[in-house]
Amino acid sequence: MRGSTSLVSRVAWGSALSASAAALVAALATSGFAAWLVHRAEDRRLEEAAVTLARELDVDGPRKTVQAIVADEAEELEHTDLRFAVFDGEVRLLAGDARLQPGASGSCVTLRQGALRSCRAISEGGLVAVVASARSAQLPLLSLAALLAVALAALLAVVSSRVVSSAMVSPLSRLRARLAEVEVEALSRADVGEPEGVAEVDALRDAIGQLIVRVERSLEQAHRFAANAAHELRTPLTAARGELELLSEQLAEEAARASVQRARRTLDGLGTLVDRLLILALPTRAPGDAHETVSVRDLLEDAVASQPGAAGRVRLSEDDAQLHGDAVLLGTLVANALSNALKFGRTASVTLERVGSLVRVCVSDDGPGVAPADRDRVFEPFFRAENALRLRLPGHGLGLALIRHIARAHGGDAAFREVPVGACLVISFPEVSSPP
């Protein structure tokens, strides 16, 4: 599927994003709360300083001027950044920093666009003591730490969410893996596995299981229909062919015999067609493990011997390989492959190749070859290649379908290989492993 993203990455990105957002909110809230706490502590210090100043105004008032008291206080607290001012009841500056204001109400106010914070206390003598300090800026270190924490959390979320989400999606992945193993040829043995214990995945698994059963049933019906139809055709065909055989023996006249022979050939063709349809209707996986050991070379030699005129036109390799399977079906396959090659080419050659545990039977001919566009379609039942139609070659377009069907029923396959001249049909089979 083009352009699709994996569920794992979707879940991973989704959870990473939400985790990061949560981390950001948490960081903002935390730093906000921290700032509030710091400010409150600052206010308390300023208030205490103002109360101290007010008390000193009351205590030292009779002995010192207000200016002297403020100067003493400032000197005493020189190492701090505190600023002092004292106003009278009419808000006139008596001493201290002129930039400070007593503030209208409440004990603490923010001055000069947030740069200063000042708190006040009122002495018993009615003087207003104001203490201010530079407002600590937006707590830059704290904010930076919070941002770093958010970034780290986001990174962790991205990394861990991938691991976590692939673990969460694993029941789905297991189901997918089992479904990938389901073979269309062996639906009855399809295994969707045990329930995962995850409601959504199990529902999906059940739905797929039911679908497989329905597909299998309808395929089986189609197979049975084709098999029955072909089977019903066999009996009258056998009888009609037999009658014609007997008839041609009894006929003395040459012309009449020739006519009967033609009818027999037509019926033979029909018989072959019915045979092929019946084989194509066989399930690709024959049930049971009944098999014979069959030699490829025997099959090839017998096929050449049984096809009139084939002996001089086919070159067989000396090589041999043993297959497990149905000798009759494999014989049909080989005979079809050879007759197909000789239909299009003047000569054909057969070679054997071994790739791993597979043996490949390569049937090459010197004919016009198969157009690249047709290379796969020629294996469809009733498909007839351009060449075959143009050359008016006889056939139903079943030979190659039959070859592939039988090859697959034996755990192999058939395909055309790209060659510079002619055509090269490659039929692969699992070879019988020879015990050491």
Q: Which of 246, 256, 391, 393 binds other proteins (CB under 8 A)?
A: 246
Cα–Cα distance measured from residue 435 to residue 355, given in angstroms and rounded to the nearest whole number: 18
Q: By CB under 8 A, is residue 350 in contact with other proteins? A: no
What distance in Å separates the CA atoms of residue 400 and residue 388, rounded to the nearest whole number? 13
Considering only 51, 260, 294, 334, the residue that binds other proteins (CB under 8 A) is: 294
Element (H, E) at 236: helix 199-250
* One of 249, 253, 355, 394 touching other proteins (CB under 8 A): 249
Give min distance, CB of 365 to other proteins, in A. Answer: 24
Task: Determine, following the binding rule CB under 8 A, whether residue 291 of this chain makes contact with other proteins.
Answer: yes
* Minimum CB distance to other proteins, residue 397 (Å): 21
Least Å distance, CB 432 to other proteins, is: 7
CB of 328 to other proteins, least distance (A): 4
Nearer to other proteins, 237 or 352 (CB): 237
Cβ 290 to other proteins shortest distance, Å: 4
Q: Measured from the CB of residue 377, what is the shortest distance to other proteins in angstroms? A: 28
Residue 88 makes contact with other proteins by CB under 8 A: no
Q: Pick from 310, 406, 314: which is nearest to 351 by CA? A: 314
Q: How far is the CB of 310 from other proteins (least distance, A)?
A: 14
Q: Compute the least distance from the CB of residue 253 to other proteins, in Å.
A: 19
Identity of the residue, 241 or 375, whose beta carbon is nearer to other proteins in the bound complex: 241
Q: What is the largest CA-CA distance in the chain?
A: 163
Among 52, 295, 339, 351, binds other proteins (CB under 8 A): 295
Query: Residue 118: helix, strand or coil by DSSP?
Result: strand
β-sheet with 128-134: strand ranges across: 93-96, 83-87, 128-134, 116-122, 108-111
The nearer residue to other proteins, 126 or 436, going by C-beta atoms, is 436
Q: Which stretch binds other proteins (CB under 8 A): 40-48, 202-210, 286-294, 382-390?
A: 286-294
DSSP state of 370: -
Among 98, 290, 355, 373, binds other proteins (CB under 8 A): 290
Supply 25's token pair: 């909110």
Contacts of 248 (CB under 8 A, 6+ apart): 257, 260, 261, 264
- Reported in sequence order, the residue ranges of 73-219 that DSSP labels E, i.e. its strands, are 83-87, 93-96, 108-111, 116-122, 128-134
How many Å apart are CA 179 and CA 194, to the nearest integer? 13
CA proximity to 216, closest of 275, 279, 274, 284: 284
397 — phi, psi (to 5°)? 80, 30
Stretch that binds other proteins, among 159-167, 237-245, 347-355, 388-396 (CB under 8 A): 237-245
Which H helix or E strand runs over 322? strand 322-325
| CA 303/CA 323 separation, integer angstroms | 16
Q: Does 185 bind other proteins (CB under 8 A)?
A: no
Alpha-helical (H) ranges within 77-198 are: 140-180
273 binds other proteins (CB under 8 A): no
User: Should residue 80 be labelled a site residue for other proteins when binding is judged by CB under 8 A?
Assistant: no
For position 327 contacting other proteins by CB under 8 A, the verdict is yes
Count of residues engaged in binding other proteins, rule: CB under 8 A = 43
The residue (of 107 and 339) whose beta carbon lies closer to other proteins is 339
- Is 251 a binder of other proteins (CB under 8 A)? no
Cα–Cα distance, 316 to 165 (Å, whole number): 58
Among positive and negative, which fits the CA dihedral 60, 61, 63, 65?
Answer: positive
User: Of residues 162, 241, 285, 408, which one binds other proteins by CB under 8 A?
Assistant: 241
38 or 239: CB nearest other proteins: 239
User: Which of 23, 70, 108, 329 is the binder for other proteins (CB under 8 A)?
Assistant: 329
Nearest distance, CB of residue 252 and other proteins, angstroms: 15
Q: At what angle do helices 327-344 and 399-409 cross, to 10 degrees?
A: 150
To the nearest whole angstrom, how small is the minimum distance from the Cβ of residue 305 to other proteins?
7
For residues 192 and 209, is the Cβ–Cβ distance under 8 A?
yes
Please check whether residue 407 is in contact with residue 379, taking contact to mean a CB–CB distance below 8 angstroms: no
Structure tokens at 266: 């037509």
> Which of 126, 197, 312, 435 lies at the binding interface for other proteins (CB under 8 A)?
435
Q: Determine contact, residues 101/116, Cβ cutoff 8 Å.
A: no
Summarize as ranges the residues that interact with other proteins (CB under 8 A).
231, 234-243, 245-246, 249, 268, 271, 274-275, 278, 282, 286-288, 290-295, 298, 301-302, 305, 322-323, 325-329, 432, 434-435
